[in-house]
Amino acid sequence: MEDLGRRRPPTGLARLLFRIPVRLCRMGLGRLLGGRFLLINHVGRVSGRMRQVVVEVVEHDARDGSYVVASGFGPNADWYRNVLRTPQVTVQVRGRTFPATAVALPAEEGAELMARYAPRHPVAARQLARFMGFAVYGSAADYREVGRRIPFLRFTPR
């Protein structure tokens, strides 16, 4: 694994493209995203206003109904910092909306999550690593190392 330096969140046109899934959810078309993406309704840590973000599901636990997501732009992403400040959120996935509580996961759990995720979604895993500024060569060890450096959150229904 090679460290390419941190990426910054998108601006301009790229930001508009990243926001398309949020607009789909607002129009009631969130089901089109399937179970691979979820919408998080959260409170802005500075403004106190409701905010929304759509993120990819890394893992879903059918036993407790929880979903794990990663902050692809790292620990300084606004949505991630907002959720850490106020972990009581509302999540929408597969057309279902429910209240949830977010918990940050330890680095070693992130490592194992990423190692399981990469073989299921190799292109997305490589792209997530690239977003975070890492070049990976495809080994489980590479993805574990990336997983140690990406912040993960688990959203458990309340």
For the segment 119-154, what is each residue's pLDDT rounded down to a tens digit?
A: 999 998 888 788 778 888 889 999 999 999 889 999
Q: The domain that contains 37 carries what CATH number?
A: 2.30.110.10
pLDDT class for 36, splitting at 50, 70, 90? confident
Query: Taking CA 19 as the corner, what is the angle to CA 100 and CA 1, rounded to the nearest 5 degrees?
Result: 80
Domain of 125, in residue numbers: 2-157
Domain count, the chain: 1
pLDDT at 109 exceeding the cut of 90: yes
Mean pLDDT over 11-24 rounds to 62
pLDDT at 24: 67
Pairing of the two strands 152-157 and 96-104: antiparallel
Query: Taking CA 156 as the corner, what is the angle to CA 21 and CA 121, rounded to the nearest 5 degrees?
Result: 50
Structure confidence by residue, pLDDT tens digits, 80-106? 999 999 999 999 988 889 999 999 999
pLDDT at 4: 41
Which residues neighbour 80 within 8 Å (Cβ) at sequence distance 6 or greater? 71, 73, 74, 151, 153
